[in-house]
Amino acid sequence: MNLEQGEMYVFIGVKGQNKMTEKRGPGVGVGLILSFSEPVKEVRKKYAVTEGGSRIEFESAGYDNGNWASIYIENDAVLTREEAQTGFNIVALDGRTHKVIAKKNYNTQLDGNASKQMADDFKKIPRGSVVVAVVKNSADRLLTQEGKNVFLSMGSEEINHLGDRQGFGFVGVTHQEGQYIFGEQKGPKVRAAMTLGHSKPVKKKVRKPERVEGGSRFEVHSGGFAAMDFSKIMVNNEDVATCKDPKGCRGLNVVMVDAFSHKILHADSYDTHEDATNSGRLL
């Protein structure tokens, strides 16, 4: 609308709605009665209870497209839009029951230590747990490769391409021999829902070799961060502990035995990943 020189104009409107009144002329005035607005409550559809599993729903919106995130398990909000914070909002579920065992926010947008904290916490989550992650606002600015590896280890295909102010939702399973990703979405605003069955413990029959006559059987196993993250040393079918963690500790795990009897003389771990002095301690 173009006003003429000297022309008056009045307007009353409501943002996001078509309710308005306006008038133009040499001298104008209007009156309008408006009732108080009431907050609109989102009405969510209730789904039937899942037998032997759970329906998992997530939603995520970047800063410019709603700026919210939420997670629902079997119609129950485990993370509401009001609770969600900037960055990654992560919920971990017990694989056998889908009960919440961990819930935390990692602000990789503003906190330079958040990626490391996320990676450290991920290592503590039991194997076979379901991880549900959603982004609110944005999460890419200070996200490091260490933080990305959390999702890559579960098979993520989008985390390396996460952009500024983008939504992101992810569902995966931790510390598996394969990579188990059940759902992943990236974009300005994303939503997804899926049904996951409860995991069942698999009992593995371990064949113990016969005892060696006149000697000993030695076994060593090692898996990097993306391959179950463990180390194991066995002598005559018995685990030899090198540290307090039953999965072994980061770095070199070393066992020394007597050459004549094969009795354990020394067992220890040396974190040569972060502390160079451990190389000298090993020597």
Per-residue pLDDT reduced to its tens digit, 153-195: 999 999 999 999 999 999 999 987 666 678 899 999 999 999 9
Q: 26 pLDDT band (50/70/90 cuts)?
A: confident
First to last CA, the chain: 83
Tell me which residue of 196, 186, 204 sits closest to 65, measured CA to CA: 186
Question: pLDDT: is 59 or 31 the higher one?
Answer: 59
Q: Residue 238: helix, strand or coil by DSSP?
A: strand
pLDDT tens string 110-122: 999 999 999 999 9
Q: Is it the case that residue 209 has pLDDT exceeding 70?
A: no
Euclidean distance between CA atoms 23 and 1, whole angstroms: 12
Q: 246 pLDDT band (50/70/90 cuts)?
A: confident
Residue 184, beta-bridge partner list: 170
Neighbouring residues of 178: CB distance < 8 A, sequence distance ≥ 6? none
pLDDT at position 1 is 66
Give the sign of the dihedral formed by CA 182, CA 126, CA 92, CA 167: negative
Q: Is it the case that residue 218 has pLDDT exceeding 90?
A: no
**CB-based contact 107:85 (threshold 8 Å):** yes
Euclidean distance between CA atoms 214 and 259, whole angstroms: 12
pLDDT tens string 48-72: 666 789 999 999 999 999 999 999 9
Q: 229 pLDDT band (50/70/90 cuts)?
A: confident
Residue 209 has a CB neighbour count (10 Å cut-off) of: 9
- This prediction has a pTM of 0.59
Q: What is the dihedral of CA 235, 240, 242, 248, to 10 degrees?
A: 100
Q: Residue 2: helix, strand or coil by DSSP?
A: coil
